[in-house]
Structure 1
Amino acid sequence: MEQDDDRPPADAATALQLIRDQRAATVSRLEPDARLLYWPWGVAWLVGFGLFFLRFSPDGRVLVRLPDWLPLTALFVLLAAAAVVQAVAGARAYGQVTGDSARRGRWYGCAWALGSVSVYAGLGRVSEHLPHDQAGLLWSATAVGLTGALHMAGGAIWLDRDLFRLGVWISVLNVVGAFAGPGWHALVVSVAGGGGILVAGAVARLRQRHRS
């Protein structure tokens, strides 16, 4: 006996709605939770750069007596944790995707890796000749600027307005923080950068639910 679920749709409207439901279910299955892609990075920036501001405040002040090594160590640990969370979430969602989309993702990941290594290699040779506060500003402003540029590139590749806008936001606040100077840059990136990434993740998640 034929089951109800096996019967063809009664009319064109029902068939169209069935197609939409199936498409939404497929997208939901293949698209990772946006919060896993954004929020770990937002927390890393908020906490990591926040510790930098508290320990290395403008004009050489110290707002909170922290060990010199703690802010950088905390930032690196949080960034590494964010990268792991994003990699696992992406692998689970995109593991079944092949073709041009998969190739774009791999190449984009290579751009992140090689771009970061090449930039940091150059910074390592230059920063040792600068005062401590200026060297810190150079490292952080370059890293944040690279992040903003690659976010805009990712938004252009996948025609993702939210990702592109986040890249623009990060780039603009990086310029503001760099001109403000050492200490202030860490505060701007922590609050506006980390907070902006958290907001972007929340907005992206709401849109995912709306599409579903």
Structure 2
Amino acid sequence: MTPDDDLPPTDAAAALRLIEDQRSQTARRLEPDPRVLYWPWGVAWLVGFGLFFLRFAPDDRVLVRLPGWLPLTVLFVLLLAAAAIQAVAGAKAYGQVTGDSATRGRWYGCAWALGSVSVYAGLGRISEHLPHDLAALLWSATAVGLTGALHMAGGAIWLDRDLFRLGVWISVINVVGTFAGPGWHSLVVSVAGGGGILVAGLLAHLRRRRAR
């Protein structure tokens, strides 16, 4: 005798609901925790750009006497750590995924890598002719602007509203910080950018929990 729970659904509507439930459960198992994807980047921006503001404040002020090399070093280390955490989480979650989704992911990763290299190569040739404060603003504003644009592109590719909205937010605060000027840009990106990424990760996590 076959238990009743193991019998197939007797009508098409029930079968479709069963398929959809199983698909949703599989998707939730594959998707990494949003906090793992968002929070390392949020911490990197909050701490890294925060140190830039403390060391290179507006009007050439120094709020906290730190070595000049420290803010950039800390920012790079934290960004590399965030990238490594995201790469491990993504490989674990999507390593078995094939088809169009895998192709989109690879191409999107190439867009990040090649876009960053090409933009920074140009900045390297230009920034050496600018004063230190304007060169720093050029680098940070361009990097943050590229991040916002690629977040919006990722949201459009996967129809991810949270990712697209985060890209919009990053782009808006980048414009505000750029017009505010050197020093202020670091503060805006640290608090509103890093803090915004942390909040986005928390909200995505809570929505995921409610969907279960």
Return the TM-score normalized by structure 1.
0.94
Partners of 2:18 and 2:157 in 1: CA distance:
30
Identify which range, 93-102 or 4-13, moves more after superposition: 4-13
The SS at the match of 1:129 is coil
Partners of 1:29 and 1:93 in 2: CA distance:
8
Distance apart, 1:203 and its partner CA: 1.1
Task: Describe how 1:158-169 pairs up with structure 2 within 5 A.
Answer: 158-169=158-169
1:174 matched residue in structure 2: 174
Partners of 1:74 and 1:53 in 2: CA distance:
13
2:74 matched residue in structure 1: 74
Letter in 2 for 1:71: P
Q: List alignment gaps of at least 5 residues for structure 1.
A: none
| 1:9-42 superposed Cα distances (whole Å, 9 cap, x missing partner) | 5777765654443223201111111111111000
| 1:143-163 superposed Cα distances (whole Å, 9 cap, x missing partner) | 000000000111111111111
2:50 matched residue in structure 1: 50
Task: Describe how 1:17-166 pairs up with structure 2 within 5 A.
Answer: 18-166=18-166
Partners of 2:89 and 2:153 in 1: CA distance:
21
* Preserved CA contact (<8 Å) 1:24 1:211: no
Identify which range, 139-148 or 4-13, moves more after superposition: 4-13
Identity of aligned residues (%): 83
2:184 matched residue in structure 1: 184
Partners of 1:156 and 1:110 in 2: CA distance:
16
* Preserved CA contact (<8 Å) 1:39 1:197: yes
Partners of 2:152 and 2:195 in 1: CA distance:
18
RMSD: 1.6
Distance apart, 1:208 and its partner CA: 1.6
Distance apart, 1:5 and its partner CA: 4.5
Runs of 4+ in structure 1 off by over 2 angstroms are: 1-21
Return the TM-score normalized by structure 2.
0.94
Distance apart, 1:6 and its partner CA: 2.4
